Amino acid sequence: MSTLEEVLARARGLIGRWEDEDCGTVTVKDFCRYAAAIDDVDYIRRARAQESAGAAVEAPALFLASTMSWEDGPAEAELRPDGLTARESPCTQGLPVRQVHGGQSVRLSRAPLAGSRVTASRAVTSVERKHGRSGDFVLLGLTTRFTSADGDELTAVDETIVVLAAVPEGAAS
């Protein structure tokens, strides 16, 4: 079985299987770190003023959709050659592949408030083998739904990952 056929088989077996990840309780500090990363100084000032006044603080609009992981991050040695972690590489663990992001669509329902517990539920939603100018590849469709403790959807992200066979060592890229 070829590498891409293995990705197809694994993905087909995972379609519709949702995996939950407890993202923990989001904080003003988390929101401000994100705002600093996107250079939104005005958000930081507003959020800190609201926090000081005892008011509820909403996350920046794309905070949940932009967070790739809720952990501290892996050691560099645990990253795949394409820079992704195993969690960000469904259906490809241990296979000689490379991946690129094929785009995403984000649905914003409501922003989480600081102090809210958030859960991310993720599933493979589609898989398709394609052929292009550079050869065969697989398109993985993924959906991540972020929900509050009461189960209400906060944000949903539909994304496409392009999976290609790895370039053999020594081959021209």
Question: pLDDT for 61-84, tens place per residue?
Answer: 999 998 766 666 666 776 666 666
Amino acid identity for residue 27 in this structure? T
Cα–Cα separations (whole angstroms), residue 9 to 36, 85, 97, 120, 121: 41, 21, 15, 25, 22
CATH number (domain holding residue 70): 3.10.129.10
**Domains in the chain: how many in total?**
1
- Residue 101: helix, strand or coil by DSSP? strand
Q: How many CB atoms lie within 10 A of CB 123?
A: 16
Provide, rounded to the nearest whole percent, the portion of the chain with pLDDT above 90: 69
The parent domain of residue 139 ranges over 3-165
Q: 32 lies in a domain?
A: yes
Cα–Cα separations (whole angstroms), residue 66 to 61, 70, 105, 106, 133: 10, 11, 12, 10, 31
Q: 41 lies in a domain?
A: yes
Q: 150 lies in a domain?
A: yes
Question: pLDDT for 27-46, tens place per residue?
Answer: 999 999 999 999 999 999 99
Q: 73 lies in a domain?
A: yes
